[in-house]
Amino acid sequence: MKKVLYLFDALKRGGAETSTLEIAKRFKNWVPVMVSIYEGTELKNDFEEAGIKVYSLDITEKFGIATAMKKIQEILEVEKPDVIHANLFMADQFSRWLGPKNSIPVINSFVNDSYSKERYELLNFKQRLVLNLYKAVDRYSAKRVTRFMSLTQAIIPNNTKALNIDPKSVVVIPRGRNIRAFRDKVDLETVSNIKKEYGNGPLILTVSRLLIRKGYLDAINAIHLVVKKHPNVKYLIAGKGHDESKIRALIKGLNLEKHIFLLGNRNDVPSLLEAADIFLFPSHYEGQGGALIEAMLMEKKIIATRIPVLEESVKDNISAKLFDYRSVVDMAKKISWTIENPAEMDILANMAKKEAEQRFNIGKIAEKHEELYEKVSMKNQNIS
């Protein structure tokens, strides 16, 4: 059997890492091997329990380029993979230099809208300079990639323009979910306890890292408006991230401690979704939005930002309610309308569930990955 070697910056509980775990353990014709470059191996045991070999380099140096290149080269010589598939910036760079050096085809994934104007809007002058430096490096080495893959069509234009590559050459393969297994993780006792703890009022949930770009400051300000009309509303936020202190400060500043609760990282997301009345996804930009897919599968009433990448998954007034980008007032209006019109929103939630079941079946997604690996591994092939 042929072998694909995955390169990750780290094996943390992020969307790319958890999705790859679910995909890789379903391969029929390919053997996956994982390489985690830097510190952060939360998912190592999960991969190994699935029978997937994991190399944890645990490099602590900032970048650690020389060390990483040497160690990855040693692994390539031992494993002799037929394809390298890298995710995220540093892993991408290592794959682009070591792949061609060893005559191994390389796939890189677009998992974020990394160079969108929305991202630049959130950065100060120094941060923009740094991002432009990363973009220059990214663009220079992009020509060494055999094939690019994207989670969604919406993030292709910005990424391909930044890297100066043909957008028509990028293949779209979304992330998937094990639908039955995800739903089976719902624990009814946990659901009951969540509802008891946070009361009988409308329960709103967001699952995402605690980053400003996830739209949390907008959401908190929107909840501040909503509670004036619906004082029993509770807003639960599941996730961790480096902007937590700013998010906590805004909650305290608006005296919303009795309405908004930061839950940290959770391993009971299906139960949280089952307990919630509404799923709120206020992100400014995404690669795809895995948490949104999970909410769709759980038939939740969904309110999300009207941005192209999310509109590939949900449609306004068909499977969700979408609010204008970064509009606190519009978000608050959509939340209030959803609370006041549960029957109408149930219809949208059912449509979202059907769409997710059709598009994001993990078995079909795994097959598409194997098909792509087969294409890029064939020598002298002109990939169309």
Listed by start position, the domains of the chain span 2-176+362-377, 179-359
β-pairing, 260-264 with 278-281? Answer: unpaired
Structure tokens at 264: 């940290």
Distance separating alpha carbons of residues 306 and 288, to the nearest angstrom: 13
Q: Going residue by residue through the chain (384 aa), what tens digit of pLDDT does each one get? A: 999 999 999 998 777 888 899 999 999 999 999 999 999 888 999 999 999 999 999 999 999 999 999 999 999 999 999 999 999 999 999 999 999 999 999 999 999 898 998 889 889 999 999 999 999 999 999 999 999 999 999 999 999 999 999 999 999 999 888 899 999 999 999 999 999 999 878 999 999 999 999 999 999 999 999 999 999 999 999 999 999 999 999 999 999 999 999 999 998 999 999 999 999 999 998 989 889 999 999 999 999 999 999 999 999 999 999 999 999 999 999 999 999 999 999 999 999 999 999 999 999 999 999 999 999 998 535 444
Q: What is the pLDDT of residue 325?
A: 95
Q: What is the pLDDT of residue 151?
A: 94
In angstroms, the Cα distances linking 339 to 104, 149, 230, 316 are 54, 39, 9, 17
Q: What is the pLDDT of residue 379?
A: 56
DSSP H or E segment with residue 107: strand 106-110
Show the DSSP H helices in the chain as ranges: 15-24, 44-49, 65-79, 89-101, 117-121, 125-141, 156-163, 179-184, 188-198, 216-229, 244-253, 269-275, 290-297, 308-311, 328-340, 342-359, 362-377
Residues 235, 208 contacting (CB under 8 angstroms):
no
Cross-sheet strand order for the sheet of 30-38:
53-59, 30-38, 2-8, 83-87, 106-110, 147-150, 171-172
Q: What is the pLDDT of residue 383?
A: 43
Residues 204, 278 contacting (CB under 8 angstroms):
yes
Q: What is the pLDDT of residue 2?
A: 97
Q: Would you say domain 2-176+362-377 falls under CATH 3.30.1490.20?
A: no
Q: Would you say domain 179-359 falls under CATH 3.30.43.10?
A: no
Q: How many CB atoms lie within 10 A of CB 87?
A: 23
Give Cα 311 distance to the centre of its chain: 15
